[in-house]
Amino acid sequence: MAPFVSVIVNCFNQGHYLERSVKSVLSQTFTDLECLIVDDGSTDNTRQVAENLISQDQRVHYFFKQNSGLPSSRNFGMQQAQGEWIQYLDADDWIHEDKIRFQLEYIPLAPAQDIVLYADYERVFIGANEEILERQENIIGSLTSAELTQRLLIPDFLADSPHPALQQAMLIHKSLLNKIKFPENLKALGDRYFGIDILMSGANFIYTPIIGAYYTKHKSNRTNNWNYMKQYYIAFYEFVSLNYPKLNKLCQIGLDFLIDEAIREREQENFARLSKIVPMPVHILGKNLKVNNKSSLRLLYSLISRTPRFLLYEKYRGPRSQKVLRFFNAEGR
């Protein structure tokens, strides 16, 4: 008989975390489940750890695939899953022992099609020596579909509330995943776009008030690299603009920030991509200048790119440029 819940644990060279993650699945108070370890081409001891876990509990299964990134691994895991409900979990994260039982109690009496059960979570900051530096509760609360959509379209660093659709904190009915996949060319922010995708499909999000997942943040995470993440934010907004143009206006906060940075840093390619999708008007120069149309925006980019940056941006003003500015300010009195 097929298990009711499938937990997909994705792992890439995280064998030293894998046992903790899988043990949090096997210790669930809800026991009618399977745990699928998807090894995304690891070169460490992931296979050995997985084989040891399989020997301890027959609910654990192991799959190896060529490295192709997290979204691809999640899609692969879903294809192997037998359960009616799907829980995604990364190998360096873990879940509360009562998470699955608690969330399943919120299934309505009506058929549970296209439902997402979502919970609160704790962000755990890990130091260079694997020590826990800080723990931060993230309480989401019950949000409407419109509120969830709006929040997902704002970068976390520009928002005053937690990311509301963390995969580790969710339990998803398989009917949704049969229709909608993770975008495999978004190796970062794929979760965010997936959240938009399923919301736009009419998915019913149900809030389950439990700290359900423990999401780790390491110094080595690639998401700490802004130049890396910036490219994926641009790609994310391009995806939204292409597939859901009616949401474009809701992207304004993120797009204003990105295009302002592209102008300041003279990133011509990024500016060209962003200027095609940013809704007008746009606010640049630290929101001090409002630009009403794209022709004016392109003209301003051309002018600003020829202007010494210290005249426009304080961050570029060293002692010498500050002295020059003081001189001209004094001359103008």
Per-residue confidence band for 308, with pLDDT thresholds at 50, 70 and 90: confident
* Every domain of the chain and the residues it spans: 5-223, 226-328
Q: What is the pLDDT of residues 146-188, one digit of tens each?
A: 999 999 999 999 999 999 999 999 999 999 999 999 999 998 9
CATH architecture for segment(s) 5-223 = Alpha-Beta Complex (3.90)
Provide the 10 A C-beta neighbour count for residue 2: 10
E strand map for 104-237: 115-126, 132-138, 170-173, 204-218
Contact 108, 44 (CB under 8 A): no
Written as six digits, the tokens of 241 are 């603009």
Query: Long-range CB contacts (< 8 A, 24+ apart) of 278-281?
Result: 278/252, 279/248, 279/249, 279/251, 279/252, 279/255
What is the percentage of the chain residues whose pLDDT exceeds 90?
Answer: 80
Q: What is the pLDDT of residues 66-78, one digit of tens each?
A: 999 999 999 999 9
